[in-house]
Amino acid sequence: MSILIDQDTAMLMVGITGKQGRIHCKRTLESGSKLLAGVAPGKGGKKVEGVPVFETVAEAREVFPEIESAMVIVPKEFVRDAALQALNDGIKLLVIITEFVPVMDALQIVHEAKKLGAKVVGPNTIGVISPGKSKLGIMPDYIYGKGHIGIISRSGTLTHETASNLTFKGFGLSTCVGIGGDSIIGMNHADVIEMFARDDDTDALVLIGEIGGTSEEMAAAKIKELKLKKPVCAYIAGRYAPENKRMGHAGAIVSGGMGTVKSKIAALEDAGVVVCPTLGKIVEFIDEYNTRTSGRLKSLEPRVD
C-alpha cells in the first residue's frame, strides 16, 4: 500500500501548456505516472507530450472519468479559480505547486475542499510521491528509492536531500508528502501522520519541519493521541532564525514566542520523537533502529537505476 497515490492513480495537470507545465508533464510521464489529461483555458484540443489538453476539468473528466487527482501549476493570480473549478468538478486530491498564493485565496480553497470532502496538498509544495508507483508533483523521482519509510515535510529541498540520503544508504520510501511552506495549507503533519499510522507499507516516519506555525506541535499531539508504535524522527530547520523575520517560506516566521524551534522540539520529544540536530542524523537514526531491531527495516527496497 501507500497513502494518497499509488500505481493506479489517474491524474491531470492544470497549467500543462505553460513553461513549467510542459517541463513537468514530460517528467511526470517519464516517471511512469498515469497523467492522462491537461487543462488550459483557450488551449483545448492541443497536446503536450501526447497528453490531450482540455478547456476545463469537467471536459477532461468526461473523457477520463477515472481522474480524481490533479496538480495545479499556474501563476498565483489564477490558482483560486483553477483550484475551485477542479474541486467542484470532482477532483478529490488536489496538489497546488504554486507559491505566493494570496492568503484569502488559500483559505477559500481549503474551506471548499473540506466542504466537498476533498484533500488539498499545498500551496507551495513539491507534491506527493510513492516511489516506484506514482508521483503527483515536481520532485526528481530518481532520487526517491522504493521502501517503507514515510516522509512528511514543509521543505521541498530538505525532502530531496533526506530522500536522497536514505536511498543512497539503502533505506527507501513508501510515500513522501510535501505539505507546503505557506502559512495556509490544506494538510498539516498531523493529517498525514494519521494516514501513515494506518499504512502497512510504512514502518517508520521522518518529519521535517521549520520555525513558524504549529504544525509540528499538532503532529506531536497526534502521535500521543494515536499512541503511535512506529518509530519517528524529526528535524526542525531555523534554529538560529531571528524572531519576527520571515525565513524563506511564508509560514516560516516566529511571532510572540510561538512556533519556535524550542517549542517544537519540546513537544515532539514529549511525544517520544527523536529530534535530530542535522539531516545526516536522520539516516543514523534509521540505521541504528534497523540494527537494534535485528533488521526490522531490512525489507526496504532501494531502487537501482
Task: Please say if 148 is a catalytic residue.
Answer: no
- Tell me: cis bond preceding 123? Omega within 30 of 0 counts: yes
Q: Which residue among 24, 148, 189, 249 is the active-site one? A: 249
Q: What phi and psi values does residue 182 have, to the nearest 5 degrees?
A: -80, 165
Residue 126 near residue 99 (C-beta atoms within 8 A)? no
User: What count of other Cβ atoms lies within 10 Å of the Cβ of residue 6?
Assistant: 13
Residue 173 near residue 163 (C-beta atoms within 8 A)? yes
Q: Which sign, positive or negative, has the C-alpha torsion 263, 266, 272, 274?
A: positive
**Nearest of 192, 17, 55, 214 to residue 120 by alpha carbon:** 192
User: What count of other Cβ atoms lies within 10 Å of the Cβ of residue 160?
Assistant: 18
- Residues annotated as part of the active site: 249
